[in-house]
A and B are shown apart, each in its own frame.
Chain A
Amino acid sequence: MSSSTGTQLRITSAEDVKNALGDRLVESFQKDDLWLRVRTDAWKSSMRTLRETLGFQYFCFLSAIDWMPSPFGRGEDDPTEPAPERDTTIRPGYAGGATRMQVFARVSHPITHVSVFIKVDVPDYSPALESIHDVYAGANWHERETHEMFGITFTGHPDLRNMYLPIDFEGHPLRKDYPLLSRMIKPWPGIVDVEPLPGGATDEGGDES
């Protein structure tokens, strides 16, 4: 199997990927997939290594996660009552994290079908990251979407226009501190109408059904 992007390395283990990334790798986590967290300043060069040295040519997706729990809860509160206090401590997910928002992407090897997740921390006060649209062409639209939904700027991106939202839309809807207004106005009907299940809400035991 040949390819125009240089030598193809057949990945046999997660160690190969970790060694290739070297000191750019901050933390890794392995379960049934491999999660890697790279340094923010080495984001683009890591993606380039993955594509051009390790042969992860297939770009699956790029998105972001806001790790701060929503101060509005799950929209289950009665709007006539004052909102309860909520814990908004930030707990990072797999492969750790030091910031509130993280960008993550998934790339795959088209021959060995090995896939990795790459996460990267985004600075809290000026959420910006290098664009990888010239490494993976498919990242172009995904970065546009992440930009409008999370307010993360991708430096070097040719065209960060809004993809879905109107031009004059304010706010970044997928950030956790952006309220889902329909839930603010009217509580979820399922919350108020439903009778409690037999055994009460604590009934979590294996029920045969």
Chain B
Amino acid sequence: MSVTDRLLGDRQRLAYIASQAADSRLNVELETEGMTLNIGPQHPATHGTLRIIARLDGEQVVWAEPSCGYMHRGYEKLAEVRTYPQVTTLVNRIDWLGSFANEVPFILAAEKLMDVEAPARAQHIRTILFELSRIANVSLFLGDLGVQMGAITPVFFAFRDREYVLNLIEGATGGRFHPNFDRIGGLKDDLPKGWIAETKAVMKKLRTFCDQIEELLFGNEIFQSRTRGIGVIPRDVALSFGLSGANLRASGVDWDLRRDHPLPMAWNKADWKVWTHPDGDSFARCWVRLQETREATKIVDQLLDTIPSGPIMAKVPKIIKVPEGEAWVSTENPLGEMGYYVVSRGELGPFRVKIRSASFNNISITPWLLRGVYVPDIVTILASLYFILGDIDR
């Protein structure tokens, strides 16, 4: 008996029995006929081009399988022919809604191999930009969530307020979506004048946005009935599939890499809270993300007050050669655990880079999770798992 079968909940077990019955066409009572439903590759719920093939028995999914690869760009191979500073340009495009957060773990891995640490000021600004990209990323999710369930209003709120954050990122880094701002040993530039005051004002707006979404969406009866008790992931299954980020915390696992894995970043300089939810359903996943957005605004606010003075670059050679070795660094990205396993051979570029992206694991649970759900719930479950295609296909 496989581990997933052993851990099947009652609801899933019943659905599985129904699926078996449909498979052998024993379901004569209702006289339903099996049918294959193709969702995507172009579908608003897929944030890119994910295709889902679902076999249905009436309204119930018997078997579902996501088909990825429409966006595979082969970054692991490309990284092998690039130098270390060039790789950040590639990894920017993995999760394109929170690009800066993709650069950080790679840069930290290279710094770990070189035994270099960024100055305190650079660490602070890195953390602030990291959390800003989380806010930009997750606020889109919160708006988009409504659209999946037929509520149009939240998406306008989300796009309006996300724009403020993107403007801040653009102001500091020069790029709205792909900053490419992180350097081995520090940052490209210091913050522009007036940026801190502006950021504080925007953070206040974002907290209002979170309150509005909480009232508009999370308090909405239709939203609750569409998400509560739907797509339940038990704790052990979530761990076994390697779910991370808010998806894992929504299943009751109190684990946040920002708090639990010491990194040369400034998260431990702020006072904040890791939110978990015991339910593990779609609602819990959305709720945890909302709380995290609010928490991120608080982190940014506190760190803005305590930015230390000093340089933003450590002393690094002009031509970066990384000593031989292997290093792994993962951070808590907007989508979950994002990590790079960098193998160096003492050359200008990495020998091998394994990119562990969050969405790949998060979406690998869908064949298990979608078995037995009803057709309209496919979209809400996918929306609550929250993936980005660039993050699955790399």
**Interface positions of A (Cβ within 8 A of B):** 3-5, 32-33, 35, 57-61, 63, 65-66, 69-70, 74-75, 91, 93-94, 104, 106, 110, 113, 117, 133-138, 140-142, 149, 162-165, 173-174, 180, 183, 188, 197, 201, 203-209
**Bound CA span A97–B71, Å:** 34
29 A–B contacts from the bound complex (CB under 8 Å): A57-B240, A59-B242, A59-B361, A60-B337, A60-B356, A61-B354, A70-B80, A74-B80, A74-B348, A74-B349, A106-B328, A110-B253, A117-B328, A134-B2, A137-B4, A137-B365, A137-B368, A138-B240, A138-B241, A141-B361, A164-B72, A164-B393, A165-B69, A173-B77, A174-B77, A183-B81, A206-B317, A207-B317, A209-B318
The residues of B that contact A135 with a CB separation of less than 8 Å are 3
- Cβ–Cβ < 8 Å partners of B315 in chain A: 206-208
Across the A-B interface, the 10 shortest Cβ-Cβ residue pairs: A138-B242, A164-B69, A164-B72, A59-B242, A141-B364, A138-B241, A134-B2, A57-B239, A61-B356, A75-B81
Q: In angstroms, how far is the closest chain A Cβ from the Cβ of B115?
A: 11
Chain A residues whose C-beta falls within 8 Å of the C-beta of B68 in the assembled complex? 163-164
Contact flag A137-B326 (CB < 8 Å), given A164-B72, A204-B317? no
- List residues of chain B with CB within 8 A of the CB of A137: 2-4, 237, 240-241, 365, 368
- B319 partner residues in chain A, CB cutoff 8 A: 197, 201, 203-204
Residues of A with C-beta under 8 A to B69: 162-165
Residues of chain B contacted by A69 (CB below 8 angstroms): 345, 351
Nearest-neighbour CB distance to chain B for A8, whole angstroms, equals 12
CB distance from B388 to the nearest CB of A (A): 16
Give the complex CA separation of A60 and B7 in angstroms. 19
Residues of chain B within 8 A of A75, CB atoms compared: 81
- B393: A residues at CB distance < 8 A: 164
State the CA gap A61–B241 with chains docked (Å).
10
CB distance from A159 to the nearest CB of B (A): 9
Q: How far is the CB of B195 from chain A (nearest CB, A)?
A: 22
> Total A-B residue pairs with C-beta atoms closer than 8 Å?
128
For the complex, give the distance between the alpha carbons of A204 and B345 in Å: 17
User: Is the CB of B13 closer than 8 A to any CB of chain A?
Assistant: no
**Contact A61 B242, CB 8 Å, known A106-B328, A137-B3, A205-B317:** yes
CB closest residue in chain A, given B74: A173
B2 touches A65 (CB 8 A): no
User: Which residues of the other chain, A, contact B132 by a CB distance below 8 angstroms?
Assistant: none
CA distance A75 to B68 in the complex (A): 29
B184 shortest CB reach to chain A, Å: 12
Within B67-124, the residues touching A (CB, 8 Å) are: 68-69, 72, 74, 76-78, 80-81, 112
Report the Cα distance A188→B315, complex, angstroms.
Answer: 28
Chain A CB within 8 A of B347 CB: yes
Task: Decide: A65 and B255 in contact? CB cutoff 8 A.
Answer: no
B326's partner among A91, A94, A188 (CB-CB below 8 A) is A94
**Contact indicator A74/B81 (Cβ below 8 Å):** yes
Which residues of A have CB within 8 Å of B51?
A: none
Contacts of B237 in A (CB 8 A): 137
Report the Cα distance A165→B77, complex, angstroms: 14
Instruction: List 16 extra interface pairs beyond A141-B361, A205-B317, CB under 8 A.
Output: A4-B7, A58-B255, A61-B339, A63-B354, A65-B352, A74-B349, A94-B325, A135-B3, A136-B3, A137-B237, A137-B368, A140-B364, A164-B69, A164-B72, A173-B77, A206-B317
